[in-house]
Amino acid sequence: MARKREAEAPEDPTRAIIAEYRVLLSAPAVLPSLRWEPMRLGHTWQTTPDGRWDLPVHTLGWEVLGWCGHWLQHDDETPWRFTPEQARLVLWWYAVDGDGRFLYRDGVLQRLKGWGKDPLGACLCFVEAVGPCRFAGWGDDGEPLAVDNPSAWVQTAAVSLEQTKNTTLLFQTLPTAEAIAHFGAQVGVEVSHFAGGRRIQAVTSSPRTLEGGRATFVLLNETQHWDSSNGGHEMAAVISRNAAKSAGGSARTLRITNAYEPGGDSVGQRDREAYDAVRAGRATDTGLMYDSLEAPPEAPLSAAEAAAVVDAVRGDSHWLDLTRVVAEILDVRNPASTSRRFWYNQIVASEDAWVVPQVWDACADPTHIVPDGCAITLGFDGSRTDDESALVACEVETDHLFALGVWSPGEAGEVDRAAIDAAVRKAFDRWDVVGFFADLHPWESYVDRWAEDLSEHLPARAAPKHAVAWDMASRQKDFTLAAGRFLEAVQDSAQEARDALVEGRPPRRRLTHDGTQRFRQHVHNARRAPNAWGVTIRKEHRESARKIDALPAAILARLARLDYLALPAGRRRQRASHSPGLKGLW
């Protein structure tokens, strides 16, 4: 039986605070007049046709706003008040459907540096620990009732202890003295305890120690830094699995992040790409709330315009000093891409990225299947211990690249050489391989064996005296020129894809690739390396965990294709292929 809301109870100080917020947020929406209109993702800055803020029909958020206003405080000990922007975000985060279930199972809050993500996250941690955060029925007014969670176990997660401190240090001053006494709070940097066994815990340990936990709410901090090099992907996956086990699906995760660097394959990047896939209709909406306020792509980093751009994307965070922020933007020691990510909240590649990620992604054609028996060329770049090894194929007729394997060193510290050898030989069995270029070091013995066993099948030879060995170390000029031609083909292909989309026609013949995540990530990781002959590729630094090996393998595979097509007709394969129209190529 639904309990009545005690809306008139004078002893409840949160009622007056809730009333303040209702008046504030029900007023006609006023969008500021801006010279640089930002891109608004999510509900927070959306309005209804009648000119009011877009607010959820049912939400526990009103109770949350009132509770925080009474029990929490700012640094100067004044009662806590969210900005209108933050309050709308809270209302949507705690929105529920007609059955009282949360509309969103997890969320991402992406804002510029200094917006107030950590203070907002800290408030929600306290709410989830001892505040009104769970559905408890419907009041007589049709509004949902909220209660606290007696089994609360809140976690703030990051890949380092220093990152968790961004949030946990706020716990020292956030609760009022009355709140500390009322909830039996013992506030610490790594663990805060409350009466009844509830706690807020900072989590930075390995994913294995997190497996099986029953946290009721997890705040993931700075997910733009969570990647494969620090266990971030596995940690995020474990947290998500743990939340899925909660009773009634009530446990949730909220990620707070700055704009990520494309190509880093961070958790922040994967979250955004999942959201974009849903928006584009390529994936099912599984309840991800994404909220971001970003400068338009054409916004300049100039002294004349920077303040106006930051003003547009800072939202209600008026405490940001525009003069100070502009000085940071104009400081020549700060890369432009860094300023755009931190202060414009734009997702942009670093200045030395080999290719803009969006350009490579525009060439993807994951639906293309290369039939057995088709003519292909292969490229291989191998390592044994430090880097990864990759085998990439290129279909001769279509110029379509597809990864046949990317191998990492196993627990023994070396790649599985037998598995790679088997993948090479399987490719020769399955397709008509007309060229195979393999980097030499440190795979000399295998490269020699491949040439000995397979060279009779290879019209295109890697070198006059060796059918397979293509030594990148001694042929830097040739590789640089090949990398330049490859990049030009990628850029032309992306432009053709855009032109075809605008003109409403199928794209003409162009370079494409399979779009697989591992291959894609290696390309995104690659950096420009100018030399005497042009621009080649490199890792961001020698010890970097961001591998690029699939890219040189792809460049070699496509170079083998071009060399094959340049052969005189009499030296090219004379038999028909399973692929229609292939005869016309030779």
CA–CA distance, 528 with 313 (Å, rounded to integer): 31
Q: Please report whether residue 350 resides in a domain.
A: no
Backbone angles phi, psi at 479, to 5 degrees: -70, -40
Chosen domain end from 343, 378, 398: 343
- What crossing angle do the helices spanning 61-71 and 117-130 adopt, rounded to 10°? 100
Same domain, 421 and 481: yes
CATH number, position 563: 3.30.420.240
Same domain, 413 and 338: no
Instruction: Reply yes or no: is the peptide bond before residue 507 cis, omega within 30 of 0.
Output: no
Strand duo 512-513 + 400-407: pairing: parallel
Computed from CA positions of residues 139, 144, 147, 151, in that sequence, does the dihedral angle turn out positive or negative? Answer: positive
Same domain, 339 and 367: no
* DSSP bridge pairs for 465: none
Chosen domain end from 290, 314, 343: 343
Q: Please report whether residue 541 resides in a domain.
A: yes
**Spatial CA neighbour of 79 closest among 133, 22, 26, 123:** 123
- pLDDT confidence tier of residue 5, bands split at 50, 70 and 90: very low
Backbone angles phi, psi at 221, to 5 degrees: -100, 135
Burial 168-200 (b: 16+ CB within 10 A, else e): bebbeebbbeebeeebebebeeeebbbeeebbb
For the record, the structure tokens of 535 come out as 């621009």
Per the structure, the count of domains in the chain is: 2
CA–CA distance, 521 with 433 (Å, rounded to integer): 26
Q: What is the pLDDT of residues 483-517, one digit of tens each?
A: 999 999 999 999 999 899 889 999 999 999 999 98
CA–CA distance, 383 with 541 (Å, rounded to integer): 16
Mean pLDDT confidence for 365-373: 94
- pLDDT confidence tier of residue 480, bands split at 50, 70 and 90: very high
Same domain, 394 and 300: no
Domain that residue 457 falls in: 357-585
Q: Please report whether residue 573 resides in a domain.
A: yes
Q: Is the pLDDT of residue 445 over 80?
A: yes
Q: Which residues, in sequence order, are CB contacts of 410 under 8 Å at separation 6+? A: 416
Average pLDDT, the chain: 90
Same domain, 369 and 450: yes
Q: Is the pLDDT of residue 176 over 70?
A: yes
* Angle ∠(355,358,364) on CA atoms, nearest 5: 95
Same domain, 452 and 539: yes
Q: Please report whether residue 84 resides in a domain.
A: yes
SS (H, E, C) 55-105: CCCCECHHHHHHHHHHHEECCCCCECCCCHHHHHHHHHHCEECCCCCECCC
Q: Please report whether residue 269 resides in a domain.
A: yes
Q: Please report whether residue 352 resides in a domain.
A: no
Same domain, 294 and 378: no
What pLDDT, on a 0 to 100 scale, did the predictor assign at position 218? 96
Q: Please report whether residue 339 resides in a domain.
A: yes
Assess contact for 455 and 462: CB atoms under 8 A. no
What pLDDT, on a 0 to 100 scale, did the predictor assign at position 387? 82
**Spatial CA neighbour of 109 closest among 346, 345, 287, 292:** 292
Same domain, 277 and 367: no
**What percent of the chain is predicted at pLDDT more than 90?**
70
Q: Please report whether residue 502 resides in a domain.
A: yes
Q: What is the pLDDT of residues 293-338, one digit of tens each?
A: 999 888 889 999 999 999 999 999 999 999 999 999 999 899 888 9
What pLDDT, on a 0 to 100 scale, did the predictor assign at position 579? 38
